[in-house]
Amino acid sequence: MTATVNPPPPDYDPTANDDHQKRRHSSRYLAGAALLGLIVFGLWPQPQPVETATVSRGPLVVTIEEEGVTQVRHRFVVSSPVSGQLRRIELKPGAAVIAGETVIAVLEPASGDILDASSQAQAEARARGAESQVDQAEAERARAAASLDLAQTDAARQRVLARDRLVSLQTLDVAENRERTAAQENRASTFALQVARYELERAQAVLQRSVPGASTENKLLKITSPISGRVLRVFQESSRVVSGGLPLLEVGDSTDLEIRIEVLSRDGVAIQSGATVWLEQWGGETPLEARVRWVEPAAFTKISALGVEEQRVNVLADLITPPDQRLSLGDGYRVEARIERSRRPDIVQVPAGSLFQRDDTWLTFTVQNGTAKLREIATGLSTGLVTEIKSGLVEGDTVIVYPGDQISDGSRVSSIED
C-alpha cells in the first residue's frame, strides 16, 4: 500500500528557512562583535589627564626674600654738655622739632662747672674746632649741591635719549642711580652742617655760662634741637641731677628712612648697589620701593630659629617711595623685603614645576599630538616658580606641569584645561 504525501502549499519557498537561519547567525555575530568592541574599549589605555603650560618669553627677576627693619638714616643723640640740674623734659616721642629753635631740654649748670684757666683754654679750643667743623660742613654742603645739580642734569639728558632709543636702558639706570646717590649725599651734608652748627652753639654756650659772676637766670642752659625732625626717644624725662655727656633724648627725621636687611653672606655677595628692593607686609596696601645703597663689608654670626649658625651681613636700602605714601611707617618697623639678585630682560621660561632631574640632567615632558615626549633641557636662572630655559624648548611649546609617576615617554595624555 502506498503512503500519500501532502503536497506543499502553492506559496512555499524552500530557501526561506535558510535565509532565516542566516539572519539569526548574522545578529549573533554583530552582537558578539559589539561585545568584543566594548571589552576592548574598556581595556584600552585611556589618556592621562595632565596640567599643561605654554613655554613663554619675557623678563625674569630673581629675588632674595628676607625680613628687614626700618631705621632713621640720620639720628642724633642729644647729651648734657655739662653737669647740673636737669629740668623735666616735656617732649614726648613723635613731637616735631625745628633745628636751632625748639628747646628740648633746660639745664642748670652746677656751680663747680665754672672753668679754671686750663679748662677755659680747652673749652675755647673746642669752640674753635667747632667753628672749623662748621666751615668744613659748609664746603661739603656746597660740593654736594653741585654734584646733585650735575647728576640731575645728566639724568634728565639720559631720559630724553632713552625715550628716543638712542641709549640703552642700562645707561639710563646708571644715570638715575647716580642722581639718587647725589640726592642722598646732599641730604646727608645738610644734616652734617646742622649738627656742626649745633656743636658750635653748645661749645659757645658752655663758655658763656661758665663766666664767674653771671646771674642765675643767665646760667640756665637751653639745649635746642640740632636738626629738624621728630623726637625718637626720651632717655631722661624726669628732673634730676645729670653729669656731663649723659644722653638726654634722640631726634631724627622720621621721613628719611632706610631699610636694614639681614641676608646670608653668600646672598650678599650677589647683591649689587642700586638693585631694586620691594617692601611688603609693612601695613600698607601696596608694596614700597627702595634701592640698595651698599652691602656692609663685615659679616656676623647669628643663630637661626632652628639653632643653626649662619653668617649674615647687613644690606642697607634707601626708600624712594614718596613720604606721603608711607606716613604710618616709622623707625624700627618690621617689613618683608624682596631684593633683586639678578635680572634677565627677555628669556625663554617655563613653570619650575614642569622640570625634574635625573642624575645631573634636567628633563621635562612636552605634549605632541596628545602624546607625552621626554625632552632633555638646559636651565638657567630660577625664581622657584619660573625657570630660564637655555636650550631644549622654544616659545610656544606645551609642557606638562607636575607630571606623576604614571607619565612616561610615549604616554597618551589630555590636558585638563581642554
Here the CATH number for the domain that contains residue 319 is: 2.40.30.170
Query: How many whole angstroms separate alpha carbon 142 and alpha carbon 190?
Result: 10
Q: Of 115-119, 179-183, 270-274, which gets the smallest average pLDDT?
A: 115-119
One domain, residues 125 and 194: yes
Q: What share of the chain is helix, strand, coil (3-state, %, to 5)?
A: 30, 35, 35
Within a domain: 21: no
- Model confidence at 278, pLDDT cuts 50, 70, 90, reads very high
One domain, residues 277 and 304: yes
- Model confidence at 265, pLDDT cuts 50, 70, 90, reads very high
Within a domain: 45: no
pLDDT of residue 127: 74
- Model confidence at 213, pLDDT cuts 50, 70, 90, reads low
One domain, residues 320 and 361: no
One domain, residues 157 and 167: yes
Average pLDDT over residues 251-266: 90
CATH of residue 375: 2.40.420.20
Within a domain: 93: no
One domain, residues 401 and 326: no
Within a domain: 228: no
- Which residue among 319, 344, 369 closes a domain? 344
- DSSP code string of 128-180: HHHHHHHHHHHHHHHHHHHHHHHHHHHHHHHHHHHHTTSS-HHHHHHHHHHHH
Average pLDDT over residues 265-292: 90
- Which residue among 210, 239, 274 closes a domain? 210
Which segments within 267-370 are labelled E, that is strand? 276-280, 288-295, 300-303, 309-319, 334-351, 356-358, 361-368
Angle of helix 117-163 relative to helix 169-208, nearest 10 degrees, comes to 160
* Mean pLDDT for all residues in the chain: 82
One domain, residues 170 and 194: yes
One domain, residues 126 and 166: yes
CA 276 and chain centroid, separation: 7
One domain, residues 353 and 331: no
- Which residue among 157, 191, 210 closes a domain? 210
* Number of helices (H), then strands (E), in the chain: 4, 22
- Residue, of 168 and 56, whose pLDDT is higher: 56
Within a domain: 44: no
How far is residue 354 from each of residues 49, 53, 160, 367, 386, measured CA to CA in Å? 15, 8, 43, 12, 10
Within a domain: 278: yes
Query: How many whole angstroms separate alpha carbon 242 and alpha carbon 276?
Result: 46
One domain, residues 339 and 356: no
Containing structural domain, residue 261: 62-70+255-344
Within a domain: 267: yes
One domain, residues 363 and 408: yes
One domain, residues 330 and 362: no
Average pLDDT over residues 201-210: 66
One domain, residues 266 and 290: yes
Does the pLDDT value for residue 17 go beyond 60? no
Within a domain: 167: yes
290-343 tens-digit pLDDT: 999 889 999 999 988 888 899 999 999 988 888 888 888 888 899 999 999 888
Number of domains composing the chain: 3
pLDDT of residue 216: 46
